């Protein structure tokens, strides 16, 4: 089974629209759909913002469905200014930029597993960006703050969920992948950029995985 998670419902809607639904339900107030795409059994769920909600929902869904692969398919802000809205970033490392412990520099980084999905993405989508994604509980609205985070963590993108998701998956010995679409540039135009780009690009990671699941068995 594959567990596909989005922060907002439109991010996983392409998966739900393409699956043969065999069950719908609710867990901790969040709706989920379970069905089949190609030869893959899939559960899609969304509805959590920030590291705490991401952590407890990821854990609850792993406990309930016991998937073999967990995917986080959602949006992020660019730290690397060569990225543009609509670009895709695949996480290879994850870190909380707003959690700091003495003498912990570099020790809190979680490395993504080298699973079959990651190998497939690296072979067939070489033009995409692969690298570190950092997470925090606040929305970044200024160039000054963005550049400070970028210089101290050397990451491609930032969000409010990837690090918590990766930490829970890692603690459960769970295979996972994180695919993000850039929605804003983490600057003074963050809100307007997000409002404009979310309807255009939010489903892009999910649409990619739908096409992959139609033709490949990726349950690991």
Provide the pLDDT for residue 218: 84
Which band of pLDDT confidence, cut at 50, 70 and 90, is reported for residue 71?
A: very high
Strand 2-6 relative to strand 129-135, pairing: unpaired
Q: Which of 93, 96, 184, 193 is catalytic?
A: 184
Please give the share of the chain, as a percent, with pLDDT higher than 70.
96
* Each residue's pLDDT tens digit, 25-36: 999 999 999 999
Whichever domain contains 39, its CATH number is 3.40.50.1580
Q: Token pair of 208, please?
A: 């990619």
**Would residue 139 count as lying in a domain?**
yes
Please give the share of the chain, as a percent, with pLDDT higher than 90.
86
Q: Which of 11, 87, 95, 161 is catalytic?
A: 11
Residue 180 has pLDDT above 80, yes or no: yes
The mean pLDDT value of the chain amounts to 93
The contacts of residue 128 (CB under 8 Å, 6+ apart) are 87, 88, 89, 90, 121
Q: Is position 114 annotated as part of the catalytic site?
A: no
**Would residue 142 count as lying in a domain?**
yes
SS3 content of the chain, % helix, strand, coil (to 5): 35, 30, 35
**Would residue 194 count as lying in a domain?**
yes
Which band of pLDDT confidence, cut at 50, 70 and 90, is reported for residue 220?
A: low
Provide the pLDDT for residue 80: 95
CA angle 177, 96, 69 (to 5 degrees): 15
**Would residue 167 count as lying in a domain?**
yes
Which band of pLDDT confidence, cut at 50, 70 and 90, is reported for residue 74?
A: very high
Residue with tokens 């139609």: 214
**Would residue 61 count as lying in a domain?**
yes
Q: Token pair of 28, please?
A: 């901790």
* Each residue's pLDDT tens digit, 112-122: 999 999 999 99
Average pLDDT over residues 43-47: 97
The contacts of residue 48 (CB under 8 Å, 6+ apart) are 7, 30, 54, 56, 57, 161
Average pLDDT over residues 75-86: 96
Q: Which residue range is the domain that position 131 belongs to?
A: 2-215
117-147 in b/e burial notation, b at 16+ Cβ within 10 A? bbeebeeeeeeebbebbbbbeeebbeeeebe
* Each residue's pLDDT tens digit, 82-100: 999 999 999 999 999 988 7
Residue with tokens 């540039």: 185
* Each residue's pLDDT tens digit, 100-158: 766 555 558 999 999 999 999 998 887 899 999 999 998 999 999 999 999 888 999 99
Q: Is position 41 annotated as part of the catalytic site?
A: no
Average pLDDT over residues 55-64: 97
- The answer to whether the Cα torsion of 109, 110, 114, 116 is positive or negative is negative
Strand 157-159 relative to strand 69-78, pairing: antiparallel
**Would residue 220 count as lying in a domain?**
no
**Number of folded domains that form the chain:** 1
pTM of the model: 0.94
**Would residue 40 count as lying in a domain?**
yes
Pick the closest to residue 193 from 206, 203, 205, 202 (CA basis).
202
Provide the pLDDT for residue 99: 82
Which one-letter DSSP state was computed for residue 97?
Answer: T
């Amino acid at each position: 089974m594959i567990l596909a998670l989005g922060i907002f419902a439109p991010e996983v809607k392409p998966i739900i629209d393409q699956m043969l639904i065999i069950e719908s339900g609710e867990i901790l107030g969040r709706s989920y759909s379970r069905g089949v795409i190609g030869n893959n059994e899939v559960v899609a769920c969304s509805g959590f913002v920030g590291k705490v909600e991401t952590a407890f929902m990821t854990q609850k869904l792993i406990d309930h469905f016991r998937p073999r692969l967990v995917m986080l398919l959602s949006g992020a802000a660019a730290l690397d200014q060569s990225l543009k809205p609509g670009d895709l970033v695949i996480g290879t490392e994850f870190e909380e930029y707003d959690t700091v412990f003495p003498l912990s520099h570099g020790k809190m980084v979680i490395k993504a597993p080298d699973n079959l999905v990651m190998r497939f993405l690296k072979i067939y989508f070489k033009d995409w960006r692969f690298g570190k994604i950092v997470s925090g509980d606040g929305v970044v609205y200024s160039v000054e703050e963005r550049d400070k985070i970028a210089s101290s963590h050397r990451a491609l993108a930032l969000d409010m969920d990837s690090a918590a998701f990766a930490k829970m998956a890692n603690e459960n010995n769970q295979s996972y992948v994180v695919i993000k679409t850039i929605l804003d540039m983490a600057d003074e135009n963050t809100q307007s950029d997000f409002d404009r780009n979310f309807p255009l690009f939010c489903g892009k990671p999910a649409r990619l995985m739908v096409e992959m699941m139609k033709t490949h068995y990726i349950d690991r």
